[in-house]
Amino acid sequence: MDLMRSISIAASGLRAESGRMRVISENLANADSTARTAGGDPYRRKIVSFDSQLDRDLDAQTVTLGRIKRDTSAFRLEYEPGNPIADAKGYVKMPNVNPLVEQMDMREAQHAYEANLNVIGAARRMIARTLDILRG
């Protein structure tokens, strides 16, 4: 039944968005994770991508979380001469995570998740209304 398939497809959206949320929380949690040793790189921001995928059982395009890529932009530099992992000039490399950007990504993930939830709710209501005819 198409409506049940819609629910399954929307569920794949929920799964993908929750994966995105996981990556965002990783980024936010590691916003201040520096390198372990001097000269090493700190945490590099992760970027999610979504893949559309043909689900043979459903005969429809569902969405999955694609490969998680790394943000190649430059690291922030903070002047901390006393830090043991600071470079010769006294700078410590900080992760290239911008909490504001993550906040916006999070909002986006939240809205996409809710949109998929609404699809599930609407499909369920449609099924229930159709069944109401049978109850008569």
**Binding interface with another protein (CB under 8 A):** 1, 4-5, 7-8, 11, 14-15, 18, 120, 124, 127-128, 131, 134-136
**Strands 50-55, 91-94: parallel, antiparallel or unpaired by DSSP?**
unpaired
Output the six-digit token pair for 23. 């990556």
Give 51's Cβ-side CA count (13 Å radius).
8
Q: In the bound complex, what is the minimum distance in angstroms from residue 89's beta carbon to another protein?
A: 47
Our CB check for another protein shows the closer of 11 and 68 to be 11
Q: In the bound complex, what is the minimum distance in angstroms from residue 14's beta carbon to another protein?
A: 5
Our CB check for another protein shows the closer of 32 and 51 to be 51
Our CB check for another protein shows the closer of 59 and 89 to be 59
Burial 88-107 (b: 16+ CB within 10 A, else e): eeebbbbbbbbeeebeebbe
Our CB check for another protein shows the closer of 4 and 115 to be 4
Q: In the bound complex, what is the minimum distance in angstroms from residue 15's beta carbon to another protein?
A: 6
Q: In the bound complex, what is the minimum distance in angstroms from residue 120's beta carbon to another protein?
A: 7
